[in-house]
Chains A and B, each alone.
Chain A
Amino acid sequence: MTERKFVKPLKPKVDVNRVNTRILPVEFEYFEPRTVKEVVELLSKYGSEARILAGGTDLIVRMKQRFIEPKYIVNIKKVKELNFIEDRGDHLAIGAATKLREIEKSGIVRKRFVALYEAVRSMAGVQIRNMATIGGNLCNASPAADTAPPLLVFEAKLKIVGPDGEKLVPISEFFLGPGKTVLKHDEVLAEIWIPYQPEGTGSAFIKIARVAMDLAKVNVAVALRTEEGVVKSVKIALGAVAPTPIRAYKTEEFLTGKELSEATLEKAAEIVKTEVKPITDIRSTAEYRREVSGVIVKDALLKAYERISGR
């Protein structure tokens, strides 16, 4: 089976600057399934001509711009199984169709997963956050997706449901490239499982963008655990600096077991710069992205450190 491509990296059928964004110039059949089973059945039946519609804040825009022209739209907003936030003891489970606004309002997210809270708060305006879902953000697979770095550092697992049943995929294996994930045409992202972090973990998210409403030029999340100033465990993830959101494993390895001194942080920032593979695009240049990656990783580490309780 082929990988699912959400965003054709090809040219749109018409000049994007000339499209009429007043209307949706695509005709389609429309479905409102109530269960995940029905969603999978519809996807299996219509294959690559079908698209899931969650918040629509990526999909409808792309359809207006005629990047994609699906013939069948499967709206998952009314699927209750996909819309919840639940404490399951060792992890927090979030339904893929849960709106960003619900996530930022969740007390558990705010307290236990600060980096995710900060990432969601940094996204768009209140109207978009009332529409956009966490699953849509991940499945759209933008290298700049803001929920990806925090979920990477918390080592979230994604529950994917298809015709042959369900499976759990670590988020580090989910993204394949811009607009590309491991999801097959007939699979749906159902749940995001975020493990509770050990006592004494601090986390932070930092995003550099042109204006408040824009996608990130660079974003970073950090989860840090120290004992008496020595790094016991550290996870660092960055977005918009490679074809997918990435973990900075070398930097993590370097920091583990070290004291968080100014010199150590400086060295870590240097290593980060060798791990990122940024490009130049309309939002920023490769050089800028590389420089800033080092700086914000350092800032995020300090911010996370300050947040470690009982430090």
Chain B
Amino acid sequence: MGKIIRFRLNGRPVSIYVENNELLLNVLREKLGVMSPKYGCGIGECGACTVLLDGEPVLSCLTLAVEVDGKDVVTAEGLAKDSELDVVQRAFIEEGAIQCGYCIPGFILVAKKLLEENPEPDEDFIREYIRGNLCRCTGYVNIVRAIKRAAEELKFHVGKNKQV
């Protein structure tokens, strides 16, 4: 029992047959080869499977694949433009916010949305916003710093564009 779903994945149209009981996470990883969303817990606790669904961070381990028919899905693979990393991705690398990396795609997508909502986040705002994402390695300090750095770089870019 299933159906063919059509959706946008990182900007490209996809059409694929899925079973009713298939989860978005598994379809992305096993059928479409999109490996940045990770299986961590499968029950909504860790955020490793986060994707942006119509721009909002959601958990792909609790989302039925049939539900994304007609929607827009973005994973970490979709952030780089013309092989240039996104500001948030660069900030994570520059701040040494990545250790094993398992949790990072989830953090980066949540950080994207965070900065869209609040371009000047303070530490409390960031910590609050990323509380649905667990990291077993870093202790979060560098992750928070990376998000702040990304915010500053974005501000700088916006400022520059205004002058032109």
- Residues on A close to B: CB < 8 A? 20-30, 53, 56-57, 60-61, 64-65, 73, 75, 77, 101, 124-128, 130-131, 212-213
Contact = CB atoms under 8 A, between A and B. Distances in A.
A30 B56 CA distance: 24
A5 B156 CA distance: 55
Interface string B47-60: 10010010011110
Contact of B129 (A21, A126, A131): A126
B63 A56 contact: yes
20 contacts: A21-B41, A21-B42, A21-B43, A21-B61, A22-B42, A27-B21, A30-B64, A57-B44, A61-B43, A75-B64, A125-B131, A126-B57, A127-B57, A127-B58, A127-B110, A128-B59, A128-B132, A130-B57, A131-B59, A213-B131
Given A30-B1, A56-B64, A22 B39 contact: yes
Interface residues of B, number: 33
Nearest to A55: B62
A28 B21 contact: yes
Contact of B132 (A30, A73, A125): A125
Nearest to B106: A127
A23 B59 contact: no
Contacts of B1: 27-30
B90 interface: no
Contact of B110 (A21, A65, A126, A131): A126
Contacts of A126: 57, 110, 113, 129, 131-132
Nearest to A27: B21
B62 A56 contact: yes
Contacts of A75: 64, 67
A139 B33 CA distance: 37
A45 to B, nearest CB: 17
Interface in B82-123: 110, 113
B62 A125 contact: no
B114 to A, nearest CB: 8
Contact of A57 (B56, B62, B64): B62
Closest 8 interchain pairs by CB?
A125-B132, A21-B42, A30-B20, A24-B21, A130-B56, A60-B62, A212-B131, A127-B57
B45 interface: yes
A64 B20 contact: no
Given A61-B62, A101-B56, A127 B43 contact: no
Given A60-B62, A130-B58, 6 more contacts: A21-B41, A22-B26, A56-B64, A131-B62, A131-B63, A213-B131
Contacts of A29: 1, 20
B85 to A, nearest CB: 23
Contacts of A23: 21, 23, 26
A30 B44 contact: no
Nearest to A29: B1
Nearest to A214: B45
Contacts of B58: 127, 130-131
B22 interface: yes
B23 A128 contact: no
Among A26, A124, A131, chain B packs the most CB atoms within 10 A around the CB of: A131
A258 to B, nearest CB: 37
B133 interface: yes
B147 interface: no
Contacts of B132: 124-128, 213
A227 B134 CA distance: 47
Contacts of B9: none
